[in-house]
Amino acid sequence: MKTHKTIKKNKIKEITAIDLFCGAGGLTKGLEKSGIKVNLGVDIDPACEYPYSANNSGVFLEKSITSISGKDIQGFFKRGSIRLLAGCAPCQTFSTYNRKSNSSDKRWRLLLEFGRLIKEIRPELITMENVPGLIEHDVFNTFRRNLIKLGYSVDYKIINCSKYGLPQNRRRLVLLASKIGDIRLLEPKEFTKRTFKTVKETIGNLYPIGAGEYLYADPLHKSAELSELNLKRIKASKPGGTWQDWPKNLVADCHKKQSGKTYVGVYGRMKWDEPSPAITTQFMGFGNGRFGHPKQHRGLSLREGAMLQGFPKSYKFVRKGEEPINKVIGRLVGNAVPVTLGHLIGKSILRHVEEHRNG
C-alpha cells in the first residue's frame, strides 16, 4: 500500500537538492532559478568542474556514481529539508543518433546505479530527464517499477522544450517522483505566458563574427573555421533550405547517391523566426546538421549554442584568459540539461509541494 508523507499547513520546508551527472550545471542553474537550493553536483568529467562551480552555489564532486554510496552524499542535504535527488544520466546510449548502441553498453547501468542511490537515500523527491528513446527500453521500465515499489508516485512524459520557452526544438523524456503525493510536470501555460521563443530573440543581438573568428570581449563567442568549399556552400544556403538549393558543383558526392538524398537537414541554415533544431555536441559544425547561422556565413558559435540551451549570456565555461577548446565546450553544451527545462522541473516541484501543503 502506498503511503505519503505529510507537510504541515502554513509551513513550507526548504527544498535542497543533489544533482547527479550534473555536467556544466544546466539543471542546477534551472533549479536554483526556481528557488531550489542545489548543494552538490556530481560528475565524472573534470571539464565540468569550473563551469559548475563558477556559476552555481553547489559543491562539485568529480566522481562516478558507481563508486559512491548514499552515505557518501546524503550529508549534503540540509537537515530537516525536503530532499530532491536528480539523476540525468548520459543520454548517448539511448539517442537516435547512436545507431551502434546495444545492451552491452556500460552506460545502460547508470540509470540503475541512480536507482541504487535512491534506494539507499530514500529522498522525498526525484527527477530524471533523458532522450525520448529511453522509454522504449526495459531499463526504464525497471527503474520506474522500482520507484513504485519504494512508495513513490511517478509521472513521466515526453515534451518538446520549445513549448516551454526554450528557443530550441528539443524533445525530452522527463520523470518526476514523490513520496509526498501525486506529482506532475506543469503544462506550458502554467509555466510561462509566452511559450514560443525564436533564434533571433535569443542570439540576434550578439556581435557579428566571421567563420573561424572570436570576440575578444567574449572568447566563447567563437565559431569554427570553414573550408573554401564549405564557405561557398553556406553562401548558397537559404535559411530553412537544404543542400538541394545549391548549384550542382557544390553538392557532396554522398548526397548525389540515392541513400544520401534523405539527409536534407545537414549543411543547412537555421531560421531567425523559429526555434533552433536540437543542439547536439557537434553544433559548431556546419555540416553536422542545420547549424548554419541564419544570416552570417558561418556555423554557430559556442556562446550561441549555450544560449540556445537556455544558459545566460554571462555563463562562464572557462577561466579568464583561458582559450575555450571547441570540442570540450561543445560537448558540455550539447550534453547539458537545458536551463529552461531545469527551471520547469523546479517550478513543477514547488507547485507540487505547495498543493500538498494546502491539500
Would you please indicate which residues are annotated as catalytic (active-site) residues? 91
Q: Which residue bears the cell 572570436?
A: 214
Which triple of cell numbers denotes residue 149?
A: 515499489
H or E element, residue 15: strand 15-20
User: Are 222 and 193 in contact, with CB atoms under 8 Å apart?
Assistant: no
C-alpha cell at 331: 560537448
Question: Which SS3 state, helix, strand or coil, does residue 131 take?
Answer: coil
> Taking each helix axis from N to C terminus, what angle separates 339-358 and 26-34, rounded to the nearest 10 degrees?
40
How far is the CA of 37 from the CAs of 7, 27, 112, in angstroms?
19, 12, 25
For 188-221, give the secondary structure using H, E and C.
HHHHCCCCCCCHHHHHCCCCCCCCCCEECCEEEE
Distance CA 336, CA 331 (A): 8
* Closest residue by Cα to residue 311 from 328, 347, 335: 335
| Spatial CA neighbour of 304 closest among 203, 167, 162, 196 | 203
Give the contacts of 337 (CB within 8 A, at least 6 positions apart).
23, 26, 27, 30, 88, 129
Q: Phi then psi for 173, rounded to 5 degrees?
A: -95, 125
CA proximity to 306, closest of 200, 211, 220, 240: 220
CA distance 164 to 160: 8
Amino acid at 43: D
Q: What span, in angstroms and rounded, lies between the C-alpha atoms of 53 and 316?
A: 10
Q: Locate all alpha helices (DSSP H) within 236-338, ordered by sequence.
A: 253-256, 302-308, 326-335
